[in-house]
């Protein structure tokens, strides 16, 4: 019999233990190995919990027990998770983690440690919760040249935007509801300001493009500036506003990783991903594009991915190297926002006039959509979408509109499929 240790008995850790015992027989049949959870590491005691007798407080108990071959790290944060995971890998114990901050900041080091010690460091649960997206990227889709990945990587912000979109809630009210329902953190800034999605972009970018992408290399903008009026104008243009995490390879070979609110036309499947669900769209030369969809957070959905990794650890005889990446000198590898190019959505104070159309023409922009709406109180709102351009051109168009007496109330990039 081989033993599992679970680090952290919070929402995800307790989900891993619960799901393991619920499906133990099936998991053992799948792996062909008898398995049990021997230890649960946590600072707290859990009197009355059915697995309270497994709780230990000292990582050395786990490190020094040769029966423990597999470790599920569900603590979150970089410290002490990094020290604990490093020590487990050094002891030859494979680790499965749900901790995106750990992978985004230390993934390269931990993958090298796993390789050195002929064990595995797996992190399917760190992006998209239950959605299988990490493993397909380096197994099922491995025969392709992948050029871009984009998606909805944060359930909390997607819930807030949907409430604004469907129920016409203001941002603050939607955030309050997300907190009441337990989706958002008590301090929701990691969700709302994009840091959580940024970490997930780092992991996807590192995996797909083979060099470690650190969080400070990702242009990150959250959804705090998005207003109900923006969402309603996008809706009038058959689109939705979504927080999109994206990384794409540019023509010069560099990559551009970003997190920002984008207007997503309804023709894109991504625009229909609502509530706390996540979706990851991948573009590649052989398969064109494919989308992974499912629950991106929560106790059992995340536990499902952690357990899937444990099962793969049991089956793997050696280190699986197809998902490793190397340390990068990011200076040449990652482009900055000067290289960003996308169609733009403008919410404006008045109907586009001849002067605005002439300015667009002079800047080489095509006005692809122009829209006006009438509110119940007879107030009118105006918007337009212009063809793909860089930030400089988008700013020049803003200036031209302002010069002709039209105020730009919002400018949001559009996700082109």
Binding site residues, ligand HSE, CB under 6 A: 129, 154-156, 183, 191, 196, 296-297
Cβ 338 to ligand HSE, closest distance in Å? 30
Q: What is the dihedral of CA 285, 286, 288, 291, to 10 degrees?
A: -110
Q: Out of 38, 54, 200, 242, pick the active-site residue.
A: 200
For tokens 């059992």, the residue is 300
Cβ 333 to ligand HSE, closest distance in Å? 26
Cβ 100 to ligand HSE, closest distance in Å? 6
Q: What is the dihedral of CA 214, 219, 224, 229, to 10 degrees?
A: -150
Cβ 179 to ligand HSE, closest distance in Å? 11
In contact, 193 and 220? CB cutoff 8 Å: yes
Closest-CA residue to 119 (of 177, 61, 71, 168): 71
What DSSP state is assigned to residue 318? S
Q: In residues, how long is the chain?
A: 417
Cβ 199 to ligand HSE, closest distance in Å? 8
Q: Token digits for 15?
A: 């989900």
Measured distance CA(302)–CA(272) in Å, rounded: 22
For tokens 């060099």, the residue is 211
Cβ 289 to ligand HSE, closest distance in Å? 23
For 399, the 3-state DSSP assignment is helix
What DSSP state is assigned to residue 335? -
Core vs surface per residue 377-387: b (16+ CB within 10 A) or e? eeeebbbbbbb
Sheet holding 68-73, edge to edge: 55-56, 35-41, 2-7, 68-73, 94-97, 121-122
Q: Token digits for 408?
A: 């730009």
Instruction: Read off φ and ψ for residue 236, nearest 5 degrees.
Output: -65, -20
93 catalytic per annotation: no
Looking at the DSSP assignment, which residues form a beta bridge with residue 200?
A: none
Write out the DSSP string of 65-79: -TTEEEEEE---SST
Measured distance CA(191)–CA(198) in Å, rounded: 10
Tell me whether residue 6 or residue 153 sits nearer to ligand HSE (CB atom): 153
Which residues are CB-neighbours of 131 under 8 A, at least 6 positions away? 278, 279, 280, 292, 293, 294, 295, 296, 305
Measured distance CA(161)–CA(243) in Å, rounded: 8
Tell me whether residue 41 or residue 198 sits nearer to ligand HSE (CB atom): 198
Cβ 85 to ligand HSE, closest distance in Å? 18
Cβ 198 to ligand HSE, closest distance in Å? 12
Residues catalogued as catalytic: 200
């Amino acid at each position: 019999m081989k033993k599992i240790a679970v680090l952290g008995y919070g929402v995800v850790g307790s989900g891993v233990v619960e799901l393991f015992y619920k499906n133990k027989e099936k998991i053992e049949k799948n792996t062909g190995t008898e398995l049990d959870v021997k230890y649960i590491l946590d600072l707290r005691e859990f009197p009355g919990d059915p697995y309270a007798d497994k709780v230990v407080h000292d990582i050395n108990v786990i490190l020094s027990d040769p029966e423990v071959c597999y470790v599920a790290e569900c603590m979150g944060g970089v410290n002490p998770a990094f020290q604990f995971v490093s020590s487990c890998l050094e002891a030859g114990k494979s680790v499965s983690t749900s901790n995106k901050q750990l992978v985004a900041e230390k993934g390269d080091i931990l993958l090298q440690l796993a390789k050195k010690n002929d064990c595995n460091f797996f992190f399917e649960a760190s992006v998209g919760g239950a959605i299988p997206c990490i493993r397909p990227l380096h197994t099922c889709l491995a025969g392709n040249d992948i050029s871009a990945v984009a998606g909805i990587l944060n359930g909390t912000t997607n819930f807030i935007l949907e409430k604004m979109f469907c129920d016409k809630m203001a941002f603050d009210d939607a955030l309050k509801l997300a907190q009441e329902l337990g989706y958002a953190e008590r301090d929701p800034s990691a969700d709302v300001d994009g840091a959580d999605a940024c970490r997930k972009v780092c992991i996807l970018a590192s995996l797909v493009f083979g060099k470690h992408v650190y969080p400070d290399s990702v242009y990150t903008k959250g959804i705090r500036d998005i207003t109900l009026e923006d969402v309603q104008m996008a809706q009038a243009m058959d689109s939705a506003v979504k927080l999109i995490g994206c990384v794409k390879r540019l023509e010069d070979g560099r990559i551009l990783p970003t997190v920002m609110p984008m207007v997503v036309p309804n023709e894109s499947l991504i625009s229909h991903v609502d509530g706390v669900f996540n979706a990851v769209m991948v573009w590649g030369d052989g398969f064109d594009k494919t989308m992974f969809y499912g629950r991106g957070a929560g106790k059992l959905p995340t536990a499902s991915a952690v357990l899937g990794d444990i099962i793969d650890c049991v089956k793997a005889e050696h280190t699986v190297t197809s998902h490793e990446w190397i340390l990068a000198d990011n200076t040449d590898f990652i482009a900055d926002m000067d290289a960003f190019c996308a169609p733009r959505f403008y919410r404006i104070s008045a109907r586009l006039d001849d002067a605005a159309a002439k300015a667009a023409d002079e800047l080489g922009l095509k006005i692809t959509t122009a829209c006006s709406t009438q509110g119940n109180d007879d107030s009118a709102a105006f918007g337009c979408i212009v063809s793909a351009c860089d930030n400089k051109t988008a700013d020049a168009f803003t200036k031209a509109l302002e010069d002709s007496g039209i105020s730009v109330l919002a400018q949001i990039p559009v996700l082109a499929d």
